[in-house]
Structure 1
Amino acid sequence: MSKKNGTTFNLDHIVESYKKEFPFYQVLDKAGKVTNSELEPDLSDEELTELMRRMVWARAYDQRVTLLNRQGALGNYAPSGGQEASQIATHYALGDGDFFAGTYRDLVPLIFHGLPLEKAFLWYKGHMKGNEYPEDLNAYVPQVIVGGHITHAMGVALGMKKRNKNNIVLSMNGDGATSQGDFYEGINFAGVYNVPYVIVIQNNRYGISVPLEEQTKAETLAQKAVAAGIPGIQVDGMDPLAMYAAVSAARDHALAGKGPVVIEALTYRFGPHTMSDDPTRYRREKELAEWEEKDPLIRMRNYLMEKGLWSEEQEDEVIETCKKEIKEAVTAIGKVEKQKVSDFLKNMYEVSPQNIQEQIASYEEKEMSQND
């Protein structure tokens, strides 16, 4: 507090007010009981069952791909177990023709968006064909650069607005991305041009090993939307129904021409940042145990079983289906032609300059001799 010319400025209350400005939204508690029936989405029994099926598939996928990584069958992997609500329920709220932009941890929602499983596995292996998407797949290749896709997604949303498309763009990013300039630039331009863009921040508490409190002094990440003049809300990211309801409302808001929305999903990754990471070095077992009690699958399972819509047999069937599909995809990528240096060079330019053409010819000659 300071005084100047008889005026008193009290700045201390401002930070405290942010806690009140951004309430926490939840529909299901950790036991699967409805805490706010007004926010409970109007989904049919079939839609609820399908959402659960996708979440179970996602968990089985995460566990299976983790094993494949340990066996050396795939490249480095970023586990997503625990984030099924912030990923799968979020994506489930999208409509046909909506555009998806995710990170290296968001392969499963990208698969549900239409990416063939074989393409996902080729991407893990660093194969160029893993980046060749069908023309009707409205999505970007998973972004490895933290926050790098946010401005790109904003540009797609601006294009949709100019073309009068009745669709939105949804991007997913972690908490670490909100510390990058791309995040601020993206949401600022999104607000200026009032584009149909929903930005979901999957706040899993850590940017690799850096805890949230060492990344930012902000009380919430949702409040960062205020600087861009757009709405920001905070949602229980372990609650599938809350995430679905929030994204649906944000999508409706954007389609009504009211502009972008930032959603902070409070979630948690049960596994390491990637398979080359050791989370025991920066987080305690007690913390993990506390978040495992909030498991989105437990909540949804209890909620549906009480309605008589889910059973252990259904869950086992989904898991076995996932294993079968993964096995088939692994077999398929084993038949894909190995990459050649000459192919890398050919992909550098639409029209290769003379020096690259010479290198291509040189490598093709070497490659032919190796095959003889």
Structure 2
Amino acid sequence: MLIDKFSPLEGKMLSIMDPEGNIIEKDLMPQLEDEKLLELYKMMLLTKVVDTKALQYQRQGRMLTYAPNRGQEAAQLGSIAATEERDWLVPAFRELGAWLYKGVSLEQIYLYWYGNEEGSKFPENINMLPVAVPIASQINHAAGLAMASRYKKEDAVTMAYVGDGGTSHGEFHEGMNFAAVFDAPLVVIIQNNQYAISVPRHVQTRTKTLAEKAVAYGIPGIQVDGNDIFAVYVAAKEAVERARRGEGPTLIEAVTYRLGPHTTSDDPTIYREDEEVEEWAKKDPILRFKKFLINKELWSVEQDEKEIEAYEELVNNTFKKVENSKEVPLEDIFAYQYETMTPNLVQQLEDYRQYLEGREK
């Protein structure tokens, strides 16, 4: 097992491809068809374009607060690509690549960030929970979902995501401990992007790695180069297969970096130096993967430019549809909380209706 070879307690981190696109662990390289490699790379490119345009739309006052993903594409796509269609995705709020790979439409994603509840209403064939903004709350949801899948004998694995700061929250501990005790088919990906808003990684915890927290729960944990899509994929694949065999959860720390702000309400220049960002930009996961594909003569700079141009046109056309979408019904803001509205939500809805009527008079 990779867990045995790359123990986080010994300071070992799994890396298969270096920043220049060279394979440094040939024995661990996943056997992916050329078609699959190109699919993953194109999805990374799409994620980048969707993310970049979303940031622009928000700055133009055309979208609500947005959480950028730039720099974390490999951590997201390398992990979700290791799952099957029947498996569940439980996100936080910075997993754009995983959402797209899972089949969530671009229109739905933009609707969510636009403030339309329709953006959280997924087709029944997409096994994904809505965005969870409360930090680490989704780990409890994921543990419960994984247990439910097992009870129903669905042979499904749940993959959940959390940030480095989220590992300092009580709900992270509760969810991981519960999943470990009951051998839930759960894989948790920590997107360690070095900052929880303005709080740096080393202030979050005294542990040398976040992966070693798995030891306390009695489950495997591994730290991987989160900008290396192959390292993330291999670790996630082993964890998913282990969970599907009924051997319980795995904790994976993907060491990456948030190149942009925490959200569009954040100014990262206040708490980190430009030099640090520039150093991490050299480890860009998309640039690394592109170098690998070009070296294998599967891709070219010209293809890259054409693909980006096509994605930009797709994104612009999609966002026009979103901007022309109908207003969100007032009831949706309250009705989407539970299957059946609770008495207090019914009262809140009525109170707000009366408030609006009074304001109009």
Check whether TM > 0.5.
yes
CA 1:50 to 1:344, structure 2 compared with 1: closer, same or farther past 3 Å?
closer
Shift of 1:298: 1.7
CA deviation profile, 1:143-170 (whole Å, cap 9, x unmatched)? 1111110110111110111122222111
Give the secondary-structure state (helix, strand or coil) at the position aligned to 1:268.
coil
Give the secondary-structure state (helix, strand or coil) at the position aligned to 1:141.
coil
Shift of 1:365: 7.2
Letter in 2 for 1:138: N
Match of 2:281 in 1: 292
After TM superposition, the structure 1 stretch with the greater mean CA deviation from structure 2, 55-64 or 326-335, is 326-335
Shift of 1:344: 3.6
Match of 2:195 in 1: 206
Letter in 1 for 2:37: L
Letter in 2 for 1:251: V
Match of 1:334 in 2: 323
Q: Any stretches of 5+ residues in structure 2 without a counterpart?
A: 1-6
CA 1:295 to 1:153, structure 2 compared with 1: closer, same or farther past 3 Å?
same
Shift of 1:108: 3.1
Match of 1:141 in 2: 130
Choose the corresponding residue for 1:252, options 235, 241, 262.
241
CA contact 1:29–1:299 (8 Å) conserved in 2: yes
CA 1:347 to 1:213, structure 2 compared with 1: closer, same or farther past 3 Å?
closer
Q: Partners in 2 of 1:306 and 1:34 — Cα distance?
A: 11
Give the secondary-structure state (helix, strand or coil) at the position aligned to 1:257.
coil
Give the secondary-structure state (helix, strand or coil) at the position aligned to 1:59.
helix
Choose the corresponding residue for 1:174, options 142, 163, 166.
163
CA 1:363 to 1:215, structure 2 compared with 1: closer, same or farther past 3 Å?
closer
Give the secondary-structure state (helix, strand or coil) at the position aligned to 2:28.
coil
CA 1:355 to 1:278, structure 2 compared with 1: closer, same or farther past 3 Å?
closer
Match of 2:180 in 1: 191
Q: Any stretches of 5+ residues in structure 1 without a counterpart?
A: 1-17
Does 1:107 pair with 2:100?
A: no
CA contact 2:73–2:285 (8 Å) conserved in 1: yes
Choose the corresponding residue for 1:68, options 57, 63, 67.
57
Root-mean-square deviation over aligned CA pairs: 2.3
Q: Partners in 2 of 1:356 and 1:50 — Cα distance?
A: 46
After TM superposition, the structure 1 stretch with the greater mean CA deviation from structure 2, 175-184 or 330-339, is 330-339
Choose the corresponding residue for 1:274, options 263, 273, 283.
263
Letter in 2 for 1:330: F
Where has structure 1 moved over 2 Å in runs of 4 or more?
A: 18-22, 339-367
Does 1:222 pair with 2:211?
A: yes
Q: Equivalent residues in 2 for 1:18-97 (5 A)?
A: 20-97=9-86
Give the secondary-structure state (helix, strand or coil) at the position aligned to 1:170.
strand
Match of 2:222 in 1: 233
Give the secondary-structure state (helix, strand or coil) at the position aligned to 2:137.
coil
CA 1:134 to 1:363, structure 2 compared with 1: closer, same or farther past 3 Å?
farther
Letter in 2 for 1:239: D
Choose the corresponding residue for 1:130, options 116, 119, 124.
119
Give the secondary-structure state (helix, strand or coil) at the position aligned to 1:233.
strand
Does 1:305 pair with 2:323?
A: no
- Taking structure 1 as the reference length, the TM-score comes to 0.88
CA contact 1:200–1:264 (8 Å) conserved in 2: yes
Q: Partners in 1 of 2:149 and 2:336 — Cα distance?
A: 28
- The number of aligned residues is 352
Q: Partners in 1 of 2:224 and 2:314 — Cα distance?
A: 33
CA 1:229 to 1:355, structure 2 compared with 1: closer, same or farther past 3 Å?
closer
Q: Partners in 2 of 1:58 and 1:357 — Cα distance?
A: 37
CA contact 2:112–2:120 (8 Å) conserved in 1: yes
Q: Partners in 1 of 2:147 and 2:342 — Cα distance?
A: 32
CA 1:61 to 1:343, structure 2 compared with 1: closer, same or farther past 3 Å?
closer
Q: Partners in 2 of 1:55 and 1:99 — Cα distance?
A: 21
Shift of 1:359: 4.8
CA contact 1:341–1:363 (8 Å) conserved in 2: no
Letter in 2 for 1:151: N
Identity of aligned residues (%): 38
- Taking structure 2 as the reference length, the TM-score comes to 0.91
Give the secondary-structure state (helix, strand or coil) at the position aligned to 1:149.
helix
After TM superposition, the structure 1 stretch with the greater mean CA deviation from structure 2, 332-341 or 286-295, is 332-341
